[in-house]
């Protein structure tokens, strides 16, 4: 312990100890228990002690804050000077107060002396336990004056307020990227210095923070501690639970500053706003294509690498995107969580629902920049624009033929591979195209969807109807020809009669 040379400082410390002892004596004398209201006598004595402290208040010259003791002022001044005299002998981290070092040391020792009486979870700090208790009580004392949203801690409210202000005070000195939170900047800076001190013992993957390691380890353990209060779905991350619960509540707290569109996730808002400003900061390392979001860049780069990290647990099929895997697995489970608001039709993916609902609304938000033609789906617009550009990005790996659509490439490559993935459920016949299988199945089912509008006869194939329609066309032609012949005959007979009449007159 540090020896104090200054006699004035010694006197302050002695007075502080004496006053603390006096307060303890008052409480002991009048049996003041925690949570109990003290008697009027003890209350008076406590008030007088507090007044004595207030008279000796020391004021900070930097910010004007008043503190009761000189020692407290010295500790407070470290906020302004940046002095951190207490260093951890385990990791070298420094602190301005000894009690902060003591709390930090519990990370290394693993000591968690504060236990929640509701769920048994232990914490290294008393304040952390206090914040945790609000999870059980539902208390959210800090409310945003902009949107009315409430939070369990003041720090969480402060972070939330940056959404409304758009303030990003913390700037990376390496690349100039700005952040609304210091913790985000601190995590980002580790990318530049390459420090990945936390390693997973299961797969040896390394991480820049303990939080990221813990999240990752749940992949191996299968732990999903966060459960939805509306349904029984569980999540490995609290932010994933928050995002999911917005499906039930319909909450969309993030509003676009350029239009009235709202989003349930801040990342989606950021990506959307880049549409307005035209920003595409992420460039593909294999080609010159640029993207507005990192997720889109990653998905695109897998076209070049051929990587498909997401595997179906039912059929071993692999996917380059987790969203594609989720949608695919619904084929096996039969789950269709998205229902049309206009009819009773249900869908396995939200994008399929959006596309379908446009058949009801007639909305076509995607317009061609070459000919003003509009489309209900962005994929249809992309395909259409290739007519103008002549682009054929999909090349056959067996020959030099190129295609504007990936579906056409797949179909073509089956000529080379001989693959016939579509099998008839009625017989053993297989097909390279799903359309050919559908046509074939009509032989078994007897379905004849193509009906002649002339005579009512039905056909299995559209080609058969076309051949049949020629019969009616020939009949019509013959009928016209016959009518024309009869008219000519009548005209000829009239001429003969006139000729005979003239001959009779002259004879």
* Alpha helices (runs of H) in 310-399, residue ranges in sequence order: 322-333, 350-361, 378-389
Residue with tokens 């073509």: 412
- The structural domains of the chain, ordered by start, are 56-139 (3.30.160.60)
Q: Residue 128 corresponds to which tokens in the numbers above?
A: 């952390």
Q: How far apart are CA 356 and CA 345, in angstroms?
A: 9
Closest by alpha carbon to 285, among 301, 270, 299? 301
- In this prediction, residue 205 carries a pLDDT of 85
Residue with tokens 């299995």: 460
Strands of 338-479, DSSP E: 338-339, 346-347, 366-367, 374-375, 394-395, 402-403, 422-423, 430-431, 450-451, 458-459
- In this prediction, residue 23 carries a pLDDT of 45
Q: How far apart are CA 271 and CA 267, in angstroms?
A: 6
Q: How far apart are CA 440 and CA 177, in angstroms?
A: 59
Q: How far apart are CA 75 and CA 67, in angstroms?
A: 10
Q: Which helix (H) or strand (E) holds 300?
A: helix 294-305
The secondary structure of residue 461, as a DSSP letter, is S
Q: How many CB atoms lie within 10 A of CB 400?
A: 6
Q: How far apart are CA 490 and CA 485, in angstroms?
A: 9
Q: With the CA atoms of 429, 433, 435 and 440 taken in that order, what torsion angle do they form, in degrees rounded to the nearest 10?
A: -10
Closest by alpha carbon to 15, among 67, 55, 69, 51? 69
CB 468 within 8 A of CB 457: yes
Strands of 383-436, DSSP E: 394-395, 402-403, 422-423, 430-431
- In this prediction, residue 58 carries a pLDDT of 85
Q: How many CB atoms lie within 10 A of CB 296?
A: 16
SS3 content of the chain, % helix, strand, coil (to 5): 50, 10, 40
Q: How far apart are CA 89 and CA 187, in angstroms?
A: 23
Q: Residue 374 corresponds to which tokens in the numbers above?
A: 């509009």
With vertex at residue 72, the alpha carbon angle to CA 113 and CA 49, rounded to the nearest 5 degrees, is 90
Residue with tokens 């016959």: 482
CB hemisphere CA count around 280 (13 angstroms)? 10
**Which residues of the chain fall below pLDDT 50?**
1-38, 505-507
- In this prediction, residue 53 carries a pLDDT of 52
Q: With the CA atoms of 452, 453, 454 and 456 taken in that order, what torsion angle do they form, in degrees rounded to the nearest 10?
A: 60
- In this prediction, residue 343 carries a pLDDT of 92
Residue with tokens 């207030």: 54
CA Rg value for the chain: 40
Whole-model pTM: value is 0.32
- In this prediction, residue 416 carries a pLDDT of 92
CB 213 within 8 A of CB 191: no
**Beta bridge pairs of residue 87:** 94
63's CB contacts (< 8 A; 6+ apart) are 80
Q: How many CB atoms lie within 10 A of CB 107?
A: 14
CB 253 within 8 A of CB 147: yes
Q: How far apart are CA 150 and CA 141, in angstroms?
A: 7
Q: How far apart are CA 353 and CA 339, in angstroms?
A: 7
CB 207 within 8 A of CB 198: yes
Q: List the end-to-end C-alpha distance of the chain, in Å, as a whole number.
A: 159
- State the pairing for strand pair 198-199/206-207: antiparallel
Residue with tokens 């109990």: 36
- State the pairing for strand pair 254-255/122-123: unpaired
Q: Residue 424 corresponds to which tokens in the numbers above?
A: 């008839």
The full length of the chain comes to 507
Q: How many CB atoms lie within 10 A of CB 40?
A: 9
């Amino acid at each position: 312990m540090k020896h104090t040379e200054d006699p004035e400082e010694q006197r302050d410390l002695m007075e502080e100890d004496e006053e603390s002892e006096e307060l303890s004596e008052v409480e002991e004398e009048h049996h003041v228990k925690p949570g109990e209201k003290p008697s009027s006598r003890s209350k008076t004595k406590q008030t007088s002690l507090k007044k004595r402290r207030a008279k000796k208040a020391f004021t900070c010259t930097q910010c004007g804050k008043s503190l009761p003791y000189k020692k407290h002022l010295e500790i407070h001044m470290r906020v302004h000077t940046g002095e951190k005299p207490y260093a951890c002998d385990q990791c070298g981290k420094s602190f301005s107060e000894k009690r902060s070092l003591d709390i930090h040391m519990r990370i290394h020792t693993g000591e968690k002396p504060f236990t929640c009486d509701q769920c048994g979870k232990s914490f290294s700090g008393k304040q952390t336990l206090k914040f945790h208790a609000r999870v059980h009580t539902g208390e959210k004392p800090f409310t945003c004056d902009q949107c009315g949203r409430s939070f369990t801690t003041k720090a969480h409210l402060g972070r939330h307020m940056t959404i409304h202000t758009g303030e990003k005070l913390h700037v990376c000195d390496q690349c100039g990227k700005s952040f609304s939170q210091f913790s985000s900047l601190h995590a980002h800076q580790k990318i530049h210095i390459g420090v990945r001190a936390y390693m997973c013992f299961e797969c040896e993957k390394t991480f820049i923070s303990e939080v990221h390691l813990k999240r990752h380890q749940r992949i191996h353990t299968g732990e999903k501690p966060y459960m939805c209060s509306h349904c029984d779905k569980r999540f490995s991350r609290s932010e994933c639970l928050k995002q999911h619960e917005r499906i039930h509540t319909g909450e969309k707290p993030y509003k676009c500053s350029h239009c009235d569109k709202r989003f349930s996730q801040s990342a989606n808002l950021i990506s959307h706003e880049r549409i307005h400003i035209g920003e595409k900061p992420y460039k593909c390392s294999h080609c010159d294509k640029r993207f507005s979001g990192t997720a889109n860049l990653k998905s695109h780069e897998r076209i070049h690498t051929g990587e498909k990290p997401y595997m179906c647990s039912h059929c071993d099929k692999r996917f380059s995107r987790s969203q594609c895997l989720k949608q695919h697995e619904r084929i096996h489970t039969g789950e269709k969580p998205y229902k049309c608001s206009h009819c009773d039709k249900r869908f396995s993916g939200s994008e399929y629902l959006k596309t379908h609902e446009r058949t009801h609304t007639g909305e076509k938000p995607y317009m061609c920049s070459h000919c003003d033609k509009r489309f209900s789906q962005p994929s249809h617009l992309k395909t259409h624009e290739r007519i103008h550009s002549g682009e054929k990005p999909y090349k056959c790996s067996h020959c030099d033929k190129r295609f504007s659509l990936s579906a056409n490439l797949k179909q073509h490559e089956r000529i080379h591979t001989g693959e016939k993935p579509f099998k008839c459920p009625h017989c053993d016949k297989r097909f390279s195209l799903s359309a050919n299988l559908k046509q074939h199945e009509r032989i078994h089912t007897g379905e004849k969807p193509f009906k002649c509008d002339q005579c009512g006869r039905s056909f299995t194939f559209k080609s058969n109807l076309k051949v049949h329609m020629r019969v009616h066309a020939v009949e019509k032609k013959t009928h016209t020809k016959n009518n024309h012949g009869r008219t000519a005959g009548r005209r000829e007979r009239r001429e003969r009669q006139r000729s005979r009449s003239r001959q009779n007159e002259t004879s």
